[in-house]
Amino acid sequence: MEGGKTVAKVFIDGETLTIEDVVAVARDGAKVEIPKSVREKVEKCRQVFKEFMKEKKVVYGATTGFGALGSVIILQKSVKELQFNLIRSHLVGVGKPLEPDEVLRLMFSPVGVGSRSVNFFAKLQKGDP
């Protein structure tokens, strides 16, 4: 790593991810690990979401559209397709192709952010705004 220490392993815990960690993964080949406690929280979050789906609750961006379409309810049979299309739309770009390490940085960063979403779903489950 340029001007700093080399990171052999980066832990995704939703709290401690740094720019240096992202660079270590993208450029230096650092291994990525998601601690068991975080995987358990993500699985719990997934179960809460599945329960919301079963109860036909409205969840912005999951059971509704986005932005101006945020009040449009998505049919349950189309929710999976909506999420797939969201990912697909974020993968489309124009211009000069990115370098491999740039792609890795872009792919890796949402993982750290996503692991923080667990708290959001936990609050939703409790009825907290």
Catalytic residues: 60
Tokens of 16: 């401690």
Buried-exposed string 106-122: b where 16+ CB fall within 10 A, e elsewhere? eebbebbeebeebeebe
Q: Give, in degrees to the nearest 5, the angle at Cα 56 between 73 and 121.
A: 95
Tokens of 65: 């559209």
